[in-house]
Amino acid sequence: MQVRAAQGSLRALLWDVDGTLAETELDGHRIAFNRAFAEHGLPWRWDRSTYIGLLAISGGRERLRRFLRRQQGEEPEGSLLDALHQAKQVHYRELVVAGEVQLRPGVRRLIEAAAAAGLQQAIVTTSGREAVAALLENQLSDQSRWLPLRVCADDVAAKKPDPEAYVLALQRLGVEPGQAVALEDSPAGLAAATAAGLRCLVTLSAAFSQASVSLFRSASSLTDGLGEPMAPTRVLQGPACAGGLITLSYLEQLPPVP
């Protein structure tokens, strides 16, 4: 692929992972947690509505801790928390390797376009590094090299909606907030991005498809996806999208954060 120097004011794309790159939450992490519960002989099973409720808490380990505390009425033992979370990570990787978790439509297209245009790209997530690597290696393969910077849960003290992860990514890339766009799917991710001064495109994932649009009023654009030629995106808030495809030109025209 021929790469040209980045033009215009857009120099970087900052990608969230869970729900943005792929429908990992309901189709991946939730199922992996349920398998971990079954493996340890525990009676709990998270259905879709239960898990969507738990998504108000950033980070899988934090969600698990909150759930166990609610079930047991006290702070869970560290050994149980560790065992369940480690088992969940194994099951999640198995799901990804088996192809049960796929990139959302338009993601590969936009990553390729950004790479061809010479833009920097980074992962900014509250997920663990191992889970991120599993998804990128299995879904993007050699193209994962276009996302060399990965700011993960282990790199920051505070998770989204705190902006720490985005601030760190901007520092490591050497770009100003106005030169980058964040791609997110959740209210917490949007809050983190805008608090860091970033324009933010929200592509609603399955977990947030029924959420009130008012939760995303600070988004530069709110859509139901990035779009493909046979499945154009629908803009719910923000600039109109000609052709139904989110492109670099579309991202560059997004209004700045107030």
What does DSSP assign to residue 163? T
Which one from 18, 27, 162, 224 is the annotated catalytic residue? 18
Tell me, yes or no, if 16 is annotated catalytic: yes
Phi/psi class of residue 116: alpha, beta or left (left: φ > 0; alpha: ψ in -120 to 50)? alpha
User: Which DSSP string do the residues of 115-156 spell out, in sequence order?
Assistant: HHTT-EEEEE-SS-HHHHHHHHHHHTGGGGGG--EEE-GGG-
Which pair of structure tokens corresponds to residue 109? 């297209």
The number of residues in the chain equals 258
3-state helix, strand, coil in the chain (%, to 5): 50, 15, 40
Phi and psi (nearest 5°) for 16? -70, 165
CB 180 within 8 Å of CB 15: no
Residues with active-site annotation: 16, 18
